[in-house]
Amino acid sequence: MSISNSLKPFKFLVLRPIDIFAPFLRAVLVISAVASFSLFFYLTFSDQKPHCRGCYDAHRYSNHRKVKALAAGDHQPTNVSHIVFGIGGSVKTWNERRHYCELWWKKNVTRGFVWLEEKPEFPWPESSPPYKISDDTSKFNYTCWYGFRSAIRVARIIKESYELGLENVRWFVMGDDDTILFTENLVDLLGKYDHNQMYYIGGNSESVEQDVVHSYTMAYGGGGFAISYPLAAVLVKILDGCINRYADMYGSDQKIQGCISEIGVPLTKELGFHQVDIRGNPYGILAAHPIAPLVSLHHLDYVQTIFPAMSQPDSLKKLHKAYEMDPSRALQHSFCYDTAHNWSVSVSWGYSVQLYPWLATAKQLETAFLTYQTWSTNSNEPFTFDTRPVSSDPCERPILYFLDAAERLGGRRWRTLTTYRRYVEEADEQCHRHDYAPALAVGSFNVSAPEFDRRLWSQVYNNFFF
């Protein structure tokens, strides 16, 4: 009370001079308000270009949809039935690439289509997603001299998917025919966002050279991206004209981002989308995955197999089997220390274990080994994340173990048991130092883990576990 009373004289002295000009200030404020509103009205309504009308329609549609959705009980958590998948495919490559989609597609559970340039002349596999034939795109311009006109067709998948008029859609998710999606994690990720608002969600390329050439504000299509229904409703109205405006752009994902930028919606980046714009061995990335749910993997035809001495399809089946045991824990990176031996142990769940016969710092353990090169120039840098070189001295490298088996254990709250066995490549030189010998005697690791509580994802995003 004393503080309040002591301020009263000062309040009076400060405001009294302004009171003299109050009528004038009110007039100025009214004029400014009218001018501002008029300017907004002009920019929003008077320009008859489609993308300007789209901005207004988006506002109106989003608000209308939200009221209607809440009345219809739209507060229910997002599940896989709320997602429509649009897969960019080709008749020419489907039989060579279909094993990627068939790994994650679940008949009568997931819904969507593979979009093809023409009707296939071979029997369509029962295990593949159903297909649709894309509209003719010959009327559209494409002037990128080093690209392919198929980018136009793939860019229009979002429009053609929307125009199917499917019910109960919250999200459209785009991907390529060589993209693996981890649908349970995708559902968890999208569930964080209000699907009644306009969202454009995805990830960048790992190679900086690709981001410089294409864009840092673009969701790379191979890694997959998600567009909320309200944004799709606006995007489809301007997409065809927009594709012609961006005729010089190389890829479908560039064209989509260019159109979305006209609407004014920025990219929401999520670390679980992986374009895999690298060459060589992807081990370093997979063994040091960021704290984020694994959502997608792309470009796996262009890298070495993720498990040694296996084909890529078999490697992916092995990884996916572990993923199915506990989806949220897949590739989650953690590490611990054995102080009795002064050892460090790094675990990429469902994939690999690294045993260091010394105490490594947390910063070292969280940094990915540089086992790969950049996408275009096959260089050792730069990447969009920290890397560390692999030493040529075998005594300065960890001992590697790869996933051997994964199983779920029953009980009141189930757990998983994953086993990792030591991997020795014949060409590798071995460390013969005496203090290294005890670690070399460890032939396998058994990792027991409780079911991952998916609610932790919201905590890690908001609080970083602190």
pLDDT of residue 114: 98
Task: Compute the Cα dihedral for 194, 199, 205, 208 and give only its sign.
Answer: negative
pLDDT, one tens digit per residue, over 23-67 is: 433 433 333 333 333 333 233 322 334 434 344 344 444 444 444
Peptide bond into 357 cis (omega under 30): no
pLDDT for 80 equals 97
Write down the mean pLDDT value for the chain. 85
Q: What is the DSSP letter of 344?
A: E
Please give the average per-residue pLDDT across 363-391, as a whole number.
95
Residue 305 and residue 311 in contact, taking contact as beta carbons nearer than 8 Å: yes
Q: How far apart are the first and last CA of the chain?
A: 38
Give 160-211 pLDDT, tens digit per residue: 999 999 999 999 999 999 999 999 999 999 999 999 999 999 999 999 999 9
Task: Give the integer Cα–Cα distance in Å for 336 and 233.
Answer: 48
pLDDT of residue 429: 81
pLDDT in tens, 206-253: 999 999 999 999 999 999 999 999 999 999 999 999 999 999 999 999
Residue 46 phi, psi dihedral angles, 5° rounding: -80, -25
pLDDT value of position 88: 97
Helix residue ranges per DSSP H, 156-228 = 157-162, 183-190, 208-213
pLDDT for 445 equals 97
Q: What angle do CA 379, 384, 386 make, to 5 degrees?
A: 85
Judged against a pLDDT cut of 50, whether residue 301 lies above it is answered with yes
User: What is the reported pLDDT for 412?
Assistant: 66
